[in-house]
Chain A
Amino acid sequence: MLKDRFNSAVAHMNSRKDLKLPNATKLALYADYKLATEGLCTQPRPSLLEFEKSAKWKAWKETGDTYTLELSSSTTTTTTNATSTTDSEDADTAEFNVSTKAMVNYIQKVEEGQWGWVFDPTSNVDVSSIAAKLSTGDHDLDELQAYLGVDKDEISAEELLARPYVPHENTQFDPSTMTAAGISTMAMPTEEEGEDALEAAKSGSVEVLEKALAANPNLVNLKDDMASHLHPHSTLGMTMLHWACDRGSLRKVKLLVETYKVDVNALDDEGSTPLHYACLSGWPELAAYLQSLPAVDQTIKDNSGMTAAEYLD
């Protein structure tokens, strides 16, 4: 399998004589090619005057020496406890690994060089996993492989990108956006359990409000009477209409005004009318509706001396 990829890469490079590669790159590829196909360099040194031959020989020889050294040092570190191996076995393994390592490196160079080589996608051999099995002596790479293991995901990136996104269900640690701060929002306020009689006007739907009022029409006259020490932020004396105006529900307001004929000028303990709430909370549509009602007194000032219209932005 590795050999197929190697041969494919070699064939591709041979077909790309048009590439103007730097000499260092050409020599590195040459060295890996020779090591992969012929093994370590045993030829005599050419005359120093034959510049090209000499450079090629040197690359072949030195790269081979480097690989041998790297492989033997990593072998020593990983087999210090294995005493049964004989010298000859070691030599065989080293010889085998030098050519394999050269193949892997050749393929890697061709891939990294981005010279247009694409291997037949039916192959599922992953260079990086082969590199790991080779025990290259690159400590960092070993660590990385220890983490990655052998990639079992056979689905191609292109295919994955074309599929609809399905978020991962399990909360397995995913470092893929590790540096993202996450987006903080306001923490939920602490609230005691239970509902109060004005709940429907505060957070329920119109239907909930209709039902609550049908069951007990007297609710429309109810005012907030919660003890202020329990609810430091609540305003006393708010009616259902005040709440509906604050939350900006035109349908609830119409229900209260048109069906239940509530007092449109009711004052809470701050002297605010429902119209004050509609204006201050920024519901122009609602304010316009209230202002269109003849019964609504638009001149009422709250305890701060403000008319409702003065709160409109």
Chain B
Amino acid sequence: MSGPGKNNNKNNKDVARPAGNNKLTANRFEQELANAPADVQDKLRTLLQQLALGAGSPAGGAPAAASGKEPKSMDEHKFWKTQPVVKHDEVVEEDGPIEDDVPLDQVRATPYPLPKEFEWSLVDVENDKEIKELYELLTLNYVEDDDAMFRFDYSAEFLKWALLPPGWKKAWHIGVRVASNKKLVAFISGIPQDVRVHTAVKRMVEINFLCVHKKLRSKRLAPVLIKEVTRRTHLEGIFQAVYTAGVVLPKPMATCRYFHRSLNPKKLVETGFSHLGRNMTMARLIKLNKMDDQPSTPGLRPMEEKDVAAVAALMNKYSAHFDVAPYFQEADVRHWLISRPGVVWGYVIENPESKEITDFFSFYSLPSTVINNPKHSTLNAAYSFYYAVQTPDEALSKIEDATEREKARAEGIKGRLTTLMQDALILARQNNFDVFNALNLMDNALFTEDLRFGPGDGYLHFYLYNWRCREISSEKVGLVML
């Protein structure tokens, strides 16, 4: 890349990027419709977002799968048409379930049949041998494209963190083995989580780590895995699920774009993660991305057990602004946000005088294996996780116009948030990360440009299972999934 700096971004928008052009269109529309009622504006934004997605192209940096072209494959159609999900051509006007809850006595009592040479096998995530089997399955098979330069490299500790949150269920760590040799060849998992979508709070299951051994894709195990995890979720009285994917399925409730902040620009260029433009010097790229050695916010320190209650309160108050967000109990905060070596980093800001916890932020580690690179074997990527800053609630409550209130809120938190995320970048650099990734969800768009994030070529789509949901714009997404 020729530098994630301000000017370059502008270049991208102005000249040759379809996605950028759509952004301009969106901006002009927003200006012209500034006086329209808020709900009309929301609808238009949704439409514009769809347009922007549809116009994405490989040339614009969006991979074909994320470009919004509706997948027309028969397989996809055949499976998803049987599932309670929003159809591609459906526009949701009102939130609600797609099918009724299933009474327990009508839930299928036995596992779905597998092709005869396979057998179900729950994975004991707490068992070192079995977590290693899972780690190997995911590391070698979770990314399809063998030509890819990078492959996710989940650590065993990371998987334990991801799969054993408060309320975890062994029945939802579902493996498939080859019956004859017991080799683990497929996996799907769920974890329970209270999620608020617009105004409804639902106990949901977060589905993740669906993976079939790449040599066995012809056995079409994935639909059985999806059905089986659904059945096991129904057995626990849960009927809604949330999941994310890099591909377009029927039908995203929200679509976010990845942004990347170079911490080790030279390594990123050498691994092919970013590209040195012809007229960009390595020297300048390094200079542009230089940061202070130490964080600057007074009262910044790692989060501790004693901060849990304060952080939970901060988090839930801050999340109220978003249209989809998890509802964290104190146990969730303790699990997800207190630092674990090599997995997650959580920090709070403690007011030096009042000792009050005023803000927090966190990031987690998800390294990638660099495939076939003579110099580097691993890319250390930090991902922005949950955070919260103080919002000027009293002043905001006096503003009646919704658009004006949003604007005042953004102005009110932008400076503080940018300072905190700058510290997060510095801490990530201190911890030997090469790049800091963030989606354009929550309030991330307020700091990405100033902190020299560059747009990525990846998108992440958010989905709900058995829940119709009016489309949500990226900055109203308050949910981060691993």
Contacts and interface: CB of A to CB of B under 8 A. Distances in A.
Does B bind A?
A: yes
B215 interface: yes
B178 A158 contact: yes
A82 B181 CA distance: 48
Nearest to A243: B281
A172 B457 contact: no
A168 B142 CA distance: 15
A200 B17 CA distance: 27
B3 A233 contact: yes
A178 B252 CA distance: 13
Interface stretch (A83-91, A110-118, A209-217): A110-118
Contacts of B368: 183
A188 B457 contact: yes
Given A144-B224, A153-B219, A127 B113 contact: yes
Interface stretch (A46-54, A68-76, A159-167, A259-267): A159-167
A250 interface: no
Interface in A167-194: 167-168, 171-191
Interface string A273-313: 00011001110000000000000000000000000000000
Contacts of A179: 207-210, 243-245
B306 interface: no
- Interface of chain A, main secondary structure: loop
A136 to B, nearest CB: 10
Nearest to B210: A179
A9 to B, nearest CB: 12
A244 to B, nearest CB: 11
B339 to A, nearest CB: 23
Contacts of B68: none
Contacts of B377: none
A186 B143 contact: no
B125 interface: no
A189 B283 contact: no
Given A126-B116, A157-B185, A186-B268, A175 B223 contact: yes
Given A238-B281, A247-B282, A277-B283, A186 B146 contact: no
Given A111-B119, A144-B227, A165-B214, A157 B178 contact: yes
Contacts of B112: 140-141, 144
A62 interface: no
Nearest to A229: B7
A144 B112 CA distance: 9
Given A172-B73, A182-B458, A247-B282, A140 B210 contact: no
Given A111-B119, A189-B275, A281 B286 contact: yes
A145 to B, nearest CB: 10
Contacts of B293: none
Interface residues of B, number: 109
Given A144-B224, A181-B460, A182-B458, 12 more contacts: A111-B116, A138-B108, A140-B227, A147-B78, A167-B147, A183-B143, A185-B149, A186-B275, A187-B1, A188-B275, A189-B277, A247-B282
19 contacts: A127-B113, A131-B113, A144-B224, A147-B82, A161-B215, A172-B73, A178-B249, A179-B243, A180-B142, A181-B246, A182-B66, A184-B457, A226-B279, A233-B2, A233-B7, A235-B284, A276-B283, A277-B282, A277-B283
Interface of A: 108, 111-112, 114, 118-119, 126-128, 131, 138, 140-141, 143-144, 146-148, 151, 153, 155-158, 160-161, 163, 165, 167-168, 171-191, 199, 202-203, 226, 231-235, 238, 242-243, 246-248, 272, 276-277, 280-282
Interface of B: 1-5, 7-8, 11-12, 15-17, 61, 63-66, 71, 73, 75-76, 78-79, 82, 108, 110-120, 141-152, 178-181, 183, 185, 207-224, 226-227, 231, 243-247, 249, 258, 260, 262, 266, 268, 272-275, 277-284, 286-287, 368, 437, 454-460
